[in-house]
Amino acid sequence: MRIERGIHTFSLTAPCSYHTIQELCETQSHYVRKMSGARLTKIISLNKYKPQGVEILLTQSIDHRSWIRLIINPSSLCSGRYEPLALFQAEHADLKQIHKRLKEIIKELELPMKLKDFKLNRVDFTRNLYCKSSKEVRVRLDIFRKSEKLPHYKEKKFGNHSGERDEAVDQPLYADEANRHVWMTGVKDSEFAVYDKGYELKKRHGLTVLAPVLRMELRVSGQRVRKLAGKVRWEDQLRQLSKDQDKVVDKFLHRLHQDFPQVVHKKEALKWIEESGFQKRTKDKMRELVKKMSSCGSFTAARQKMEISKKSFMQLLGKFEKIKISPITLPQKEHLTF
């Protein structure tokens, strides 16, 4: 299976006065769309540069600081047109091009701040998994639904999170139907989503991709960005995060127990367990976990049903790592290699 890796979206933020935002809305009224207004705070979208890969999100507040946020699809910004599947590697030449184009946008809008005044607020680490069929996309998505329930993380549905997600350059379709094509979990500064990219493109943009694509997206924001990349210029942060993306994503997948090399049919998994060199007691526990994963909605639920400690459970998963298969099994005889 072919996998593409890179950064799909990142955002830059800077403080901005209430009156500057008001003037911007008046001069760019043709491109302005009000998203929400809660009492003394308004969130406004400026979509003039959205087809080129930059959406400008304005947070205008009377009693709090106002902000301007640039939500950037770097691949689209580099090419000058919407690139739904392209992923960005923060190489020197490409970063120079991004820097130049953003400076031009700031100048065109006559903003009072400079590009150096913006801070990196969010980065989306993205992987496109090119599957053999739409059926494989659904199977892989169902496998992710059985992930470990991480402490403090909550499963989410599209449509009930912040305005930034709603107005991202490449947002998935937010509707009940779309939630059958996505699995998503998150906390304040970290969010992970797996979804059918082909479905989203067709429903939201009317685009058809030739190959079925499952998209994995790990979004980090706020303090998490600074913890991973340090307190340096946003260009240097982006370069460092691009360099470390595999390490960051792989670590998260390991926490979800979604980094096993293979997922096989139940009958085959039981055969692999039987042919392993483990003791009978270990084999019995492994078989029990395979059966529990067939009926339980997650690793967490299976562990609770088995009434074993987290430490013992991790040791048991280590046995599956040695035989290179996941305790999650396929509904039909179809091999998946990760």
Q: From first to last of its 338 residues, what are the pLDDT tens digits of the chain?
A: 899 999 999 999 999 999 999 999 999 998 988 777 666 788 999 999 999 999 999 999 888 899 999 999 999 999 988 898 999 999 888 999 999 999 999 999 999 999 999 999 999 999 999 999 999 999 999 999 999 999 999 998 765 443 344 433 334 444 466 678 999 999 999 999 999 999 888 887 788 887 899 999 999 999 999 999 999 999 999 999 999 999 999 999 999 999 999 999 999 999 999 999 999 999 999 999 999 999 999 999 999 999 999 999 999 999 999 999 999 999 876 666 65
Edge-to-edge strand ranges of the sheet holding 32-38: 32-38, 41-46, 54-61, 66-72, 2-16, 119-130, 213-221, 190-196, 182-187, 154-155
Clarify whether residues 123 and 166 are in a common domain.
yes
Q: For residue 166, what pLDDT is reported?
A: 40
- As a whole number of angstroms, the distance between CA 72 and CA 104 comes to 14
- The answer to the question of residue 200 being in a domain is yes
Quick check: 108 and 194 in contact, CB under 8 A?
Answer: no
Clarify whether residues 52 and 171 are in a common domain.
yes
- The answer to the question of residue 336 being in a domain is no
Clarify whether residues 138 and 286 are in a common domain.
no
Domain boundary among 199, 234, 256: 256
Q: For residue 123, what pLDDT is reported?
A: 98
Clarify whether residues 273 and 157 are in a common domain.
no
- The answer to the question of residue 335 being in a domain is no
Clarify whether residues 207 and 247 are in a common domain.
yes
Q: For residue 9, what pLDDT is reported?
A: 96
Clarify whether residues 279 and 151 are in a common domain.
no
- The answer to the question of residue 46 being in a domain is yes
Q: For residue 338, what pLDDT is reported?
A: 58
Clarify whether residues 228 and 299 are in a common domain.
no
- The answer to the question of residue 278 being in a domain is yes
Clarify whether residues 129 and 32 are in a common domain.
yes
Per the structure, how many domains does the chain have?
2
- The answer to the question of residue 56 being in a domain is yes
Q: For residue 178, what pLDDT is reported?
A: 63
Clarify whether residues 207 and 123 are in a common domain.
yes
- The answer to the question of residue 82 being in a domain is yes
Clarify whether residues 67 and 174 are in a common domain.
yes
Clarify whether residues 59 and 197 are in a common domain.
yes
Handedness of CA 12, 52, 55, 24 (dihedral sign): positive
- The answer to the question of residue 7 being in a domain is yes
Domain boundary among 256, 279, 296: 256
Domain boundary among 193, 224, 256: 256
- As a whole number of angstroms, the distance between CA 55 and CA 47 comes to 5
Clarify whether residues 148 and 297 are in a common domain.
no
Q: For residue 330, what pLDDT is reported?
A: 94
- Domain with 278, as residue range(s), is 264-330
Residue 321, token pair as written in the block: 């790592």
Q: For residue 132, what pLDDT is reported?
A: 92
